[in-house]
Amino acid sequence: MKIRLTLLGLVIILFAFGIYLVGFQGTSEKSSTRTSTLEPVDGDWSGTLKVALVGEFQLQDTTDPITGEKSEGLYVIKDEFERLYPGATVEFFIMPWRNYVANTQAMMAGNEADVYQMPGVNDFAAQGLLEPLQPFIDQDDYSLDHFSENLIDGWKTIGPDDDDPVIYSLPFLGDARFIQYDKKIFEEWGIEPLSDHPTLDEVSEKAKAMTGVNPVTGNDNYGIYFTGTNDTSLVLTNIVEGLNSSWGEGYKWDEIELEFDSPEMLEALDWLIDMSSYVPSGIMNGQGNELWNTPQNNIAISINTGPGALKTLFAQGIEDQYGIVQNFKNEEGIGGTFSGSPLAIANQSSNKELAWEFIKFTSSPFVQSFLWEEWGNTPVIAEATEWESITKHELMLPVLEAMSTAEAPRYPWASSQPRYILQSKVEGALTKSLTPEQALKEAQQESTEWLRAR
């Protein structure tokens, strides 16, 4: 029997999960300074479209408490879509990143949104909860050529009735992982900047050389930083790619073969353990890099870094202090976790046509430039490399390159249990409660058992 939630019950549940309802009102009284050349779309678009997003978005304008930078709210997207589709109303639900998977699962169980920001698209498609998008693409003869290279293939995944990966979502927010370094610290130590595609040996040698008392400032410096929690398994698998190997192969759960205990994985873990001698204390608690992306930074190199804080760095006017180069790559120039957030349509939605129009709309230059310029989200369309708002920031071009050379199709296990099993074992090796060999053997065995039990 299908359970329907009352509005009061839904509000109580969503607030318990930390999900905020921010879009029930009509057209905002605010007005944006942005102009649009898009023309209204003919058709009967009456109805309410409910969109679930994840992150720090707000409907109204906000001011960054650190930089004082103002960001226009999501009313800009709401108002423009409602202008283009007369009769349509958009409601946004915003949930925090913490527990977003459980929050999304709860919303989908109650059929409470039509469109979902879906970084975990693999898991939700596998449950049969998402609408395949290829029929909509074919119906409109919709070209995907305007998206940045690698993104369409990267987000393909498999539903319960699919033999091969297909399109269940389209790119919305871009993301990438790269190596970032402090040029000022390099100069103070007299070390050559990192090459555009550094090797493990280069990073190791330079990190070791810049750990200690800075010869110019007299302050303690640390050669390298990586978090000891959450993403260390992804750091490790990228190091493996730098050794021209891989985490394993396969896409369907029953066909995946993991290589967590390979010689290259052991070499990568030994490298990571060696580098742990040159990091600030606190990495096992996700701490130690509090000065990163500030003028007072004390870390030379940060590996597996993302673009989330770049907007703050730009606002401080210190982007010339930092450089960005590529993550470790294999011989084909591929490496790093494929990441970001696409948009998908819930298969229970009763408003799929309008949901599809919204997804197309979000890949327009109007929306993508808004998300980048106001919220610092990496754009997902190819033309962004030519925008003045991108090219004036030297750091953004290598970010976009990193996005186009990440491993795709994305790691099938990146948001599932094998990742977290590997993570716990790597943490054990870093804290020396497990030997590297023992950690990887246990990760291989437990992850394989989990896969076979699915």
Average confidence (pLDDT) over 126-150: 97
Helices (H), 127-181: 134-140, 151-155
CA distances from 61 to 35, 37, 80 (A): 17, 23, 16
Asked if residue 378 lies in contact with residue 175, where contact means CB atoms within 8 angstroms, the answer is yes
- Structure-token pair, residue 4: 């329907």
Compute the mean pLDDT over every residue in the chain, rounded to the nearest whole number: 91
Would you say residue 14 has pLDDT above 60? Answer: no
Query: What integer pLDDT is reported at residue 277 of this predicted model?
Result: 96
214-242 pLDDT tens trace: 999 999 999 999 988 878 999 999 999 99
CATH classification number, 178-336+416-453, choose in 3.40.190.10, 3.20.20.70, 3.30.2130.10, 3.40.50.720: 3.40.190.10
Helix %, strand %, coil % for the chain, to 5?
40, 15, 45
Our measurement of the distance from residue 334's CA atom to the centroid of its chain's CA atoms, rounded to an integer in Å, reads 17
Residue 152: which pLDDT band, with cuts at 50, 70 and 90? very high
C-alpha 82/C-alpha 234 separation (Å) is 40
C-alpha 50/C-alpha 89 separation (Å) is 8
Q: Report residue 245: phi and psi, to 5°.
A: -130, -160
- 282 residue type, one letter: G
Tell me which architecture the domain covering 7-175+339-402 has in CATH: 3-Layer(aba) Sandwich (3.40)
Helices and strands, number each (H, E), in the chain: 17, 15
105-127 pLDDT tens trace: 999 999 999 999 999 899 899 99
Residue that wins the pLDDT comparison between 117 and 309: 117
C-alpha 179/C-alpha 59 separation (Å) is 33
387-403 pLDDT tens trace: 999 999 999 999 999 99
Residue count of the chain: 454
Asked if residue 90 lies in contact with residue 131, where contact means CB atoms within 8 angstroms, the answer is no
Tell me 58's DSSP state.
-
Helices (H), 43-199: 75-84, 100-109, 121-126, 134-140, 151-155, 183-189
- Structure-token pair, residue 419: 């990742």
For a pLDDT cut of 70, what percent of the chain falls above it?
93
Parse the chain into domains and list their residue ranges: 7-175+339-402, 178-336+416-453
Q: Which of 339, 312, 315, 341 is nearest to 327 (CA)?
A: 339
Q: Report residue 5: phi and psi, to 5°.
A: -90, 140
C-alpha 154/C-alpha 172 separation (Å) is 13
Residue appearing with tokens 């246990």: 442
Query: What integer pLDDT is reported at residue 18 of this predicted model?
Result: 54
33-50 pLDDT tens trace: 788 888 999 988 999 999
Query: What integer pLDDT is reported at residue 27 of this predicted model?
Result: 42
Query: What integer pLDDT is reported at residue 25 of this predicted model?
Result: 40
Average confidence (pLDDT) over 310-333: 94
Would you say residue 19 has pLDDT above 70? Answer: no
Query: What integer pLDDT is reported at residue 30 of this predicted model?
Result: 61
Average confidence (pLDDT) over 347-373: 97
| Same CATH fold assignment for domains 7-175+339-402 and 178-336+416-453 | yes
Contacts for 112 with CB less than 8 Å, ≥ 6 apart: 5, 10, 14, 50, 52, 93
Residue 350: which pLDDT band, with cuts at 50, 70 and 90? very high
Residue that wins the pLDDT comparison between 11 and 283: 283
Query: What integer pLDDT is reported at residue 278 of this predicted model?
Result: 98
- 433 residue type, one letter: S
Q: Among 87-91, 158-162, 190-194, where is mean pLDDT lowest?
A: 158-162
Query: What integer pLDDT is reported at residue 285 of this predicted model?
Result: 85
CA distances from 420 to 252, 295, 335, 413, 427 (A): 18, 34, 20, 9, 10
Q: Directed axis angle between helix 263-275 and helix 232-242, to 10°?
A: 120
Q: Among 11-25, 101-115, 149-163, 436-450, where is mean pLDDT lowest?
A: 11-25
Query: What integer pLDDT is reported at residue 67 of this predicted model?
Result: 72
Q: Among 14-23, 65-74, 247-256, where is mean pLDDT lowest?
A: 14-23
